[in-house]
Amino acid sequence: MLLHIPQVLNSEQVAHFRERLAQAPWADGRITAGYQSARAKRNLQLPETDPIAEKLSDAVRIALKRNALFLSAALPRRIFSPLFNCYQVSDGFGNHVDNAVRYDRSQVSPLEENGHPVRTDLSATLFLSSPDDYEGGELLIEELLETRQVKLPAGDMVLYPATSVHRVEPVTRGERLASFFWIQSLIRNAGQRELLFNLDMSIQKLERDHPGDPTIVELVGTYHNLLRFWTDV
């Protein structure tokens, strides 16, 4: 499932992020790439231990916890600390699949020297540049029957399976700023997760259209029983 989540950040928040990132000490984006991805990746990235990255990462996490659509679709158990990248003219990222497990160094414990392991069920890109600010730079995600092209307004986010082959087309004008991260869901199985999301959306629509309908209680009970049955904790 590929899902567009609008206005994760509002315009004021986006402006704040852009202002802070303009002062950022960008580094080679291959610092977080695996062996195969590093061969296809050409961009800049903010080191995750940089103070600016840490503060903005916390702000993204807070915004996600307030976003009902994200919570319903992802059912997050763990969110990898959001990272930040910058694609300038001629930068791009060829076809690749995200690593199955990432190690979040912001959550290091004495028993986990390399960081806390996060299974990457879902990938997310939060756009921080307006589509008018740059040309090229589209995120292309391969699905079973088609390739989806994603280029969203600043503050909007796309959520998609981390198992998918995807790429970022070369930027031909301007600069593309974004935050990217991964989510380990409470529901490992993508099909089950999508069924729960669709059921939740139907329940919400029924509540809007027919408030007080006794069927709602039955459906909510079914939702939570399925969640209880499928939850991976």
Residue 38: the pLDDT is: 61
Residue 233: the pLDDT is: 80
In angstroms, the CA 218 to CA 115 distance is: 42
Residue 155: the pLDDT is: 98
- Three-state DSSP class for 43? coil
Question: Which tokens hold the place of 33?
Answer: 């790439």
Question: Domains plus CATH for the chain?
Answer: 3-185 (2.60.120.620), 190-230 (4.10.860)
User: 158 forms bridges with which residues in the sheet?
Assistant: 4, 125
- Three-state DSSP class for 109? strand
Report which residue type is found at 173.
R
What is the average pLDDT value for the chain, to the nearest integer? 93
What residues in the chain have per-residue pLDDT under 50?
none
Residue 103: the pLDDT is: 93
Q: Which residue do the tokens 């408030």 mark? A: 211
Nearest of 193, 190, 183, 191 to residue 227 by alpha carbon? 193
Q: Is 106 exposed, middle or buried (0-12, 13-18, 19+ CB in 10 A)?
A: middle
In angstroms, the CA 62 to CA 36 distance is: 32
